[in-house]
Amino acid sequence: MTSSSSVGECLVPESRIQQVKLLNASDDAYGGVTVDMKEPMDSDDFRSLLRASISQWRQQGKKGIWIKLPIEHVNLVEPAVKEGFWYHHAEPSYLMLVYWIPETPHTIPANASHRVGIGAFVMNHKGEVLVVQEIHGKFKGTGVWKLPTGVVDEGEDLCDAAIREVKEETGIETEFVEILAFRQSHKSFFGKSDLLFICMLRPLSFDIQKQNSEIETAQWMLAEDYAAQPFVQNHMQFNSIAKLCLAKKDNHYTGFSAVPTTTGFSAKKSYLYSNIQGVEL
């Protein structure tokens, strides 16, 4: 959200004789500025610069102010908060704070609202499904056989995440076929919503080598036996997913294939997941 336009050391305002230093900042595309604090600074000096900068940006008609604080600059969090900044999001190496200048309701976008995960439906030529029992989590000690699941990493495509998770948990090499379905739930992980994509994969190997740190055991199980488990039968969501998998096994269902494409503005590689039967893209 930054451009090459920057705010450096300048006079605030021009009628004043004394030069006032401002925080180095870059204009963003939405009428605001972003401050990327890279050098250490005394908290009192930072507070003075911050107040002068806000005053100048207010005169310039700026809106949102973003301050990116690396973790080593934790001493600057308190003075920023005391000037009216609030937390927007945090990553392992930095904290992002934000401030709204206009005396109107802010239009700053919320932090990421969803976690994205995958469930992997891997079926061999015998009609057997790859299933696991987990060491940790809600299924620990239940004896329930479940599909391999996992969280998509930042910057990772869904299709690649499904292949990676299956490899990590079971040692099975696979190739992506299609997305069969997805479900959305809320208030699931630190109050965030959750998206789970059920992906069908084709196995390229068959000798299971389970992940000892997370998987109690893994096996190939007839798809019908997987779907017949009491837990699956008695829980609507699991039962619905199992029925979709059985329908796919019998060629009565078609999901969404990954179509390579590029993004609209940066030309980065991405995928469009769609049912393209009879459609030329």
Q: Region 40-53: what's the mean pLDDT?
A: 95
Residue 278 confidence (pLDDT): 63
Residue-by-residue DSSP string for 54-117: HHHHHHTT--EEEEEEEGGGGGGHHHHHHTT-EEEEEETTEEEEEEE-SSS---PPPPP-EEEE
Residue 266 confidence (pLDDT): 79
Residue 102 confidence (pLDDT): 95
**The whole model's pTM is what?**
0.80
Residue 75 confidence (pLDDT): 96
Residue 189 confidence (pLDDT): 80
Residue 276 confidence (pLDDT): 74
Containing H/E element for 120? strand 114-122
pLDDT one-digit tens code per residue, 149-207:
999 999 999 999 999 999 999 999 999 999 999 999 998 888 889 999 999 999 999 99
Q: Which residues contact 251 (CB under 8 A, 6 or more apart)?
A: none
Q: Region 204-228: what's the mean pLDDT?
A: 96
Residue 15, pLDDT above cutoff 50: no
Q: Are strands 33-36 and 64-70 parallel, antiparallel or unpaired?
A: parallel
Residue 12, pLDDT above cutoff 50: no
